[in-house]
Amino acid sequence: MNAVPSRVVFSRLAAAAGAVALAGGLLFAPASAPARAQGVVDVQCTGTFTDEFTPALTNQPQNVTIATQNSYATCVTGLPGSSSVTNNEPGETCLNVLHTLTPFDETITWSDQTTSTVHWASVEDTGGAATFTGTVTAGRYLGDAAVKATEAADITGTNPELCPVGGGTITGASGPANLTLTSV
């Protein structure tokens, strides 16, 4: 009898070892993230926003930098978060205090230090209030539909009530903000 194992024995041993390794890999492989159900509200928070306008808004269209601080501090669903956004807006006036003319991105940092980037694609301005609609394009809640409602409850400046008729300026606006992110 030949003392050297045949090639058949080696290939069977190799196949058996491969099967064991594959089974072990499947057994110890990390589970994939669970799928989120569609239409589920992932975040529903209330808070505040503060806008600063540079230069101050007048009744004449001009290029303005808007620096916004958002705090989404009280949440029914999801974690509290906050963000800072700076936008350069052409043609802004005091007649559309909350109206943002161009789409923009807002990166929200949640209380666990994860982030979500929301691309706000449109704004409906209703005078002293605005509704922003968009989509989470990166980070936590990727793909969620986003809606933010704000109301300019406090307006600052020099005689801001006279701004629409050319007698004052607006340097800032602040008030409540409501944020909702919903899986789609």
Whole-structure pTM value: 0.76
Tens of pLDDT, residues 35-57? 556 789 999 999 999 999 999 99
pLDDT by residue (tens digit) across 97-119?
A: 666 567 899 999 999 999 999 99
Ranges of residues in the chain whose predicted pLDDT is under 50? 1-34
Tokens 């944020």 locate to: 179
What pLDDT does 162 receive?
A: 94
> Domain segments of the chain: what residues?
41-182
